[in-house]
Structure 1
Amino acid sequence: MRPAIRLLAAVSKRLEPGSPTGLAGLTTHGAPRSALIFLYTSTLRKLQQIPEHSVYRQATEALTKQRLSIIESVKPAGYDSWLEKVQWQIHNRGESYRKNFGLENEGEAVGAFAYTRFKDPENLKPTSGDHAGEIPDAMKDEVPDSIVEIEPEPQMTLEQVQEIEEKIGAGLLEEVIQVAEGEMRLVDKMIASKVWEPLEEQAPEGQWSYFERGAH
């Protein structure tokens, strides 16, 4: 069931950044579209370090690409003119910012900016928990000390937000952002652990046969 507070937002047709979502400790994100684009593109880039035969990479890549395509398909009014403006700003004054993040183009830098330096500090989250308002731990080492200030991406309408939420089918966008943050951190751990490599000690033959479908 959609939280009642979200339904009340139908009156204004837009969601107010920082307002309650109806879920405890979770407030409305100020730039969910840009944040998710950055998180998903970052995750996909990191997955390139894992061999293609890895089942984890295959599954995560497929889901991430699917959700990214959904996010990119919905654009708020005025998005194209806004993007043109901030791309110019980053291209001309944010070279060090792109290099710091290891980004390939201005579009990715725009998403990174929205995720790490959104103008309202209340929307720089993890969006819940004891550390609300802080830059997520996964990003602390990546945030440059000085970057060009740009205006936030135009807000989506409530209808656009609901369209994305229905297509993804994983709760509110703020919940989707939390999952995306967790996946991005998990990729780093999977890479560090090299989970795709063979076990040093192979499991005895038939150890897992009890759990196979149709075994009983």
Structure 2
Amino acid sequence: MLRVTRPLLSALQPLKASTGITGLAVHPDPLPALKSTYTSTLSLLSSLPATSVYRQATEAITKHRLALVDGANGDIAAAEKSLEAQVEVAIEEAKDEEKLVGKMIEWKAWENLETPAPEGQWRYFDPNTE
């Protein structure tokens, strides 16, 4: 017969009962999932031209967040503190960014427009000049 001890019982229970966010469940193994998503995103980003501003910005943020997760050494609380977010939220954000990278590749957002933008298309109101 298995005798349930406090360490065994705590190992069987998730670290937290709820994320406190409706519809967002506690992830059973969040840090490896987060690392995997960040790594996948970085791999996809390498498909974009190095001159792409989107690639440069997203790569920098993703590498920074990956370093924060690596620096937590498997400690979820430390990862959440350094990320300034619950790991489940970070996972959702990372998955969304990964999907966006795929769309950016599909759209070839770094290429010139097929038809030039109309005159004044990118002119914005500047109260200092008018």
**Shorter-chain TM-score range:** 0.7 to 0.9
Distance 2:101 2:32 in 1: 20
Equivalence for 1:202: 116
Please list the CA deviations of residues 125-146 of structure 1 after superposition, one character each: whole Å capped at 9, or x if unmatched: xxxxxxxxxxxxxxxxxxxxxx
Residue of 43, 46, 58 corresponding to 1:60? 58
1:162 and 2:67 correspond: no
Q: TM-score, normalised by structure 2?
A: 0.80
Please list the CA deviations of residues 148-168 of structure 1 after superposition, one character each: whole Å capped at 9, or x if unmatched: xxxxxxxxxxxx323222222
Percent identity over the alignment?
Answer: 44
Query: For 1:84-95, what aligned pairs fall within 5 Å after superposition?
Result: none
Shift of 1:39: 0.3
Distance 1:22 1:61 in 2: 30
Shift of 1:205: 3.5
- Identify unmatched segments of 5+ residues in structure 2: 1-9
Larger radius of gyration: 2
Measured at CA, do residues 22 and 191 of structure 1 come closer, stay the same or move farther in structure 2, by a change above 3 Å?
Answer: same
Measured at CA, do residues 173 and 206 of structure 1 come closer, stay the same or move farther in structure 2, by a change above 3 Å?
Answer: same
Q: Partner amino acid for 2:40?
A: S
Residue of 21, 24, 28 corresponding to 1:23? 21
Does the CA-based 8 Å contact 1:209-1:215 persist in structure 2? no
- Identify unmatched segments of 5+ residues in structure 1: 1-11, 77-159
Shift of 1:24: 1.0
Give the 3-state SS of the residue equivalent to 1:190 in structure 2: helix
Distance 1:19 1:168 in 2: 20
1:33 and 2:31 correspond: yes
Root-mean-square deviation (Å) = 2.2
Equivalence for 1:50: 48
Measured at CA, do residues 213 and 166 of structure 1 come closer, stay the same or move farther in structure 2, by a change above 3 Å?
Answer: farther
Query: For 1:45-194, what aligned pairs fall within 5 Å after superposition?
Result: 45-76=43-74, 160-169=75-84, 171-194=85-108
Does the CA-based 8 Å contact 1:18-1:27 persist in structure 2? no
